[in-house]
A = this chain, B = another copy of it.
Amino acid sequence: MGSAIADVAARAGVSKATASRALSGKGYVAEATRKRVVQAAEEIGFVASPNAASLVTGKTKNIGVVIPFINRWFFGEILEAIEEALLNSGFDMTLYNLHPGSAERDRVFNFFLARKRFDGVIAVGVEPTAEEAGRLLRLGIPMVSVGAPVPGIRSLTIDDVAAARVATEHLLGLGHRRVLHIGGHVADPAENTVHNLRLAGYRQAMFAAGLASEARATQTTMSVPGGYDAGTHALSDATSRPSAIFAACDEIAIGVIIAARRIGIRVPGDLSVIGIDGHEYAEMFSLTTIEQRPREQGLAAVTDLLSAVGGEPCAPEVVDMPARLVVRASTAHVGVVADAV
């Protein structure tokens, strides 16, 4: 049952210290003793208590992850990548799903994360405030942010403005003039920043093309049903219908395509749609998209954080991940058109 390292030591006929050294691999132990200790440990099914170890070493081998959504493709991918990378390095991942605008936020940042239970924290798409970030850093808990630039801590983002510009330019390059932008809800704090950046990129491109007066933007939930509703509405009137749509994320884009086909509009053909994310459904819907490669972002976040946990502080700067525009036709991947960054 609750076997302790003392039991292992007794069984192997050594002291607790030697047993500890033998099992952890730190410090000098004779090969023969090491074997005896390891075997004794296996025989009684000993697994060290990480709590006791943490108490003395100050390291927990546990990373806290905060994320606003689990069940949206982009976030799910990041989460899978983070979990996998952490597990490979022997770290646990403790997950907090911070619903946008939730009252739990304070409790999570000031209680759950502020305890000495974590070697580091990864915040995905939550944009920690200066106070939230500062408190953790003062406690000696390094933090990296993914998807939201936070002053003073390392942040991994794509250049959302540039990506949106490239997306819009792609549609303009196809000869479109009536390009509608469908973005996320400004009211939603978790979507606000990214929404505004992508909207800005769209406006820049429209302006640069001398089409400022043609710029039109609507908002919806960043989800397939959200895109479906917005698409149904935007495409209902055949005379005022846009010929192209730049959706702020692939889920909206997919919803738009479903709505369009429902109405009898061919996509691509009658309507060009471009999204951002690189959603796994993109090929199925012949969707042109700007790949954001969430798995790479998650992996990079872990790498950066663990280097800070390991002692080397990583530069607290905003690092833009490469994104790329991918055009797909039917179910075939046609190629990389441009780097968005």
A55 neighbours in B (Cβ, 8 Å): 49, 51-52, 55
> Closest residue of chain B to A60, judged by CB?
B51
* A215-232 near B? 1/0 per residue, CB < 8 Å: 000000000110010000
A71-B76, A139-B1, A284-B224 given; A84·B97 CB < 8 A: yes
From B51, B80, B224, contact of A117 by CB (8 A): B51
Within 8 A of B (CB), among A125-148: 135, 138-140
Q: Does A77 touch B at the CB level, under 8 Å?
A: yes
Could you tell me if A140 and B1 are in contact, using CB atoms closer than 8 angstroms? Answer: yes
Expressed in whole angstroms, the Cα–Cα distance for A108 and B86 within the complex equals 13
**A83-101 to B contact mask, C-beta < 8 Å, 1/0:** 1100100001111110000
With A and B bound together, what is the CA distance between A49 and B261 in angstroms?
57
Q: Which A residues, 106 to 161, have Cβ-Cβ distances below 8 Å to chain B?
A: 108, 111-112, 114-117, 135, 138-140
Compute how far the CA of A247 lies from the CA of B141 in the bound complex, rounded to whole angstroms. Answer: 48
**A307 within 8 Å of B by Cβ?**
no
Contact B1 A51 (CB under 8 A): no
Per the 8 Å Cβ criterion, residues 37-93 of A in contact with B are 45, 47-52, 54-55, 60, 62, 70-71, 73, 76-77, 79-80, 83-84, 87, 92-93
A280 within 8 A of B: yes
Once the chains are docked, how many angstroms separate the CA of A45 from the CA of B131? 13
Contact check, A104 vs B87: say whether CB atoms are below 8 A apart: yes
- Choice from B51, B117, B284 contacting A228 with Cβ under 8 Å: B284
**Complex contact B51–A224 (CB within 8 A):** no
Q: How far is the CA of A117 from the CA of B261 in the complex (A)?
A: 52
Across the interface, do A51 and B48 meet the contact criterion of CB distance under 8 Å? no
Write out the residue numbers on chain B whose beta carbons fall within 8 Å of the beta carbon of A84.
97
* Complex-state Cα separation, A177 to B57, whole angstroms: 68
Choose one: B104, B115, B135, B284; the contact of A50 (CB below 8 Å): B115
A175 at the interface (CB under 8 A from B): no
Q: Which of A272-313 contact B (CB under 8 A)?
A: 280-281, 283-285
Whether the Cβ atoms of A225 and B114 lie closer than 8 Å is: no
A335 at the interface (CB under 8 A from B): no
State A211–B184 Cα separation when bound (angstroms).
49
* Interchain CA distance A99-B50 in the complex, whole Å: 25
Cβ of A258 under 8 Å from chain B: yes
Chain B residues with CB under 8 Å of A54's CB are 51
Residue A2 is within 8 A (CB to CB) of chain B in the complex: yes
Determine the chain B residues whose CB is within 8 A of the CB of A114 once the complex forms: 45, 47
Q: How far is the CA of A139 from the CA of B4 in the complex (A)?
A: 12
B111 close to A47 (CB less than 8 A): yes
Chain B residues within an 8 Å CB radius of A140: 1-2
Q: A92-B94, A116-B49, A228-B284 are in contact. Are A80 and B70 (CB under 8 A)?
A: yes
Q: Is B284's CB under 8 angstroms from A117's CB?
A: no
List residues of A whose CB falls within 8 A of some B CB: 1-2, 45, 47-52, 54-55, 60, 62, 70-71, 73, 76-77, 79-80, 83-84, 87, 92-97, 104, 108, 111-112, 114-117, 135, 138-140, 224-225, 228, 255, 258, 261, 280-281, 283-285
- Closest 4 pairs between A and B when the two form their complex, measured CB to CB: A71-B76, A51-B51, A49-B116, A51-B54
